[in-house]
Structure 1
């Protein structure tokens, strides 16, 4: 079960970075919520519902420059029961412009996952950034 949960959050990061909307849609519940906390800027969200989250992701991709990657590390899984789990992971976010590579931000993700017929899906995503960018 732990490997399945780790795979779900890894699929999220890959789909997000590649703007692979079908894959991202497949790893989110219909009622997913995303909430972000940034130092000096407070709380953004929640962005509620899969359609709203996908619009949020598309909008974010239109303004980014270079190739952005979300690197997840120190992944810790806590299962609540057979159908819900929490996964925490550190984030290092980088940008490669082709001329330079820079670290954009670091932070902590908390994913609330729910098991469905299609496997584990992200029902709740909270990201607390260590810095504003």
Structure 2
């Protein structure tokens, strides 16, 4: 598998983990010492950083527990900003869908900037910045 395919696989797996309410799968996509932060809107406050795999897992588990809908994270326009043998910066667009009461709607759009690290032959998310255009 090419490095780009591995990047896509990793980011897709993290999205799938959220959509299928599997915080352990999400956590396995992050390095032990990973960081994650997010911002909603250009003038929104920075939320986080959440530091460490356990904190990132808890953030996702708590978010999932508060939701009544089915979420679908759709990643697109993925591009590699930089890449070395043991690190990469990958940017992708996000379209966040909600399915509830027989209807589907767009909750928000935005993007991810993921700093990836290669450890013991496996690509992991070392630092994730999430930008959402709208609150949901």
Q: Shared fold (TM-score greater than 0.5)? A: yes
When normalised by structure 1's length, the TM-score is: 0.93
1:21 is matched with which residue?
Answer: 23
Structure 2: runs of 5 or more not aligned: none
How many equivalent residue pairs? Answer: 133
Name the residue aligned to 1:83: 86
Separation of aligned partners in 2, 1:104 and 1:22: 24
CA RMSD of aligned residues (A): 1.3
Matched, 1:66 2:82: no
The Cα shift of 1:118 comes to 5.0
1:94 counterpart residue number = 97
> What do the CA deviations read for 1:38-65 (whole angstroms, capped 9, x no partner)?
1254110011110011111110001112
Distance, in Å, in 1 between the alignment partners of 2:105 and 2:65 is 19
Structure 2 length normalisation: TM-score?
Answer: 0.91
Matched, 1:8 2:13: no
